[in-house]
Chain A
Amino acid sequence: TQLLEQSPQFLSIQEGENLTVYCNSSSVFSSLQWYRQEPGEGPVLLVTVVTGGEVKKLKRLTFQFGDARKDSSLHITAAQPGDTGLYLCAVDNYGQNFVFGPGTRLSVLP
């Protein structure tokens, strides 16, 4: 059983479109991170969300942590080809281990 689920698994859209990807779990977490991984590279941190209901914005990216701290969403406005990559959510399972979700593979076509 996956601790974290991400949806959709794959997403291919045209430049300029908006999109939302999701990270879900049945467990409650103290905080959650989103990373982006480009081909041939390691993941790079985008944001950490800590408080239930918290919303953070990073340019065209909007991150939200669910009120119950079991889920999170990432919304991208006016996607660009540079947004292409694998989007991973990650949680610290109360010090037991560090878990990444399976990821959403996004392709933005020019």
Chain B
Amino acid sequence: DAGVIQSPRHEVTEMGQEVTLRCKPISGHNSLFWYRQTMMRGLELLIYFNNNVPIDDSGMPEDRFSAKMPNASFSTLKIQPSEPRDSAVYFCASSVLAGLYEQYFGPGTRLTVT
């Protein structure tokens, strides 16, 4: 298996622009997680899905952030409008089930908002 696939790997955009991050989980995994990592705040869970349904979005910073999972093999995290404080590395991870099963992380998307 190719593992969790994220695109793009790097994104540089100007403040106010819309940003869409993409994730393809490992086939057969039922849970998908979006995280944000910064030096100041560490690795933070933004939202997770079970069987394509959002279960916990309490980590989503504000209404500018939205996430969708239209099918078992694809998810997006959208920021509109983007702000400089959104600059971070965004990780997608998948697991067989949520809970303390192993999470397999993608390589991350490094987002820079200028």
Contacts and interface: CB of A to CB of B under 8 A. Distances in A.
Partners in one complex: yes
Interface string A29-66: 01111000000111111001000000000000000000
Contacts of B58: 97
Interface in A1-50: 30-33, 40-45, 48
A36 to B, nearest CB: 11
Contacts of B99: 92, 95
Interface stretch (B13-21, B65-73, B77-85, B100-108): B100-108
Interface residues of B, number: 22
Given A97-B56, A97-B59, A98-B48, A43 B102 contact: no
Interface residues of A, number: 23
Given A42-B107, A43-B105, A44-B105, A101 B42 contact: yes
A98 B33 contact: yes
Interface of B: 4, 33, 35, 42-45, 48, 56, 58-59, 91, 93, 98-100, 102-103, 105-108
Interface of A: 30-33, 40-45, 48, 88, 91-92, 95-103
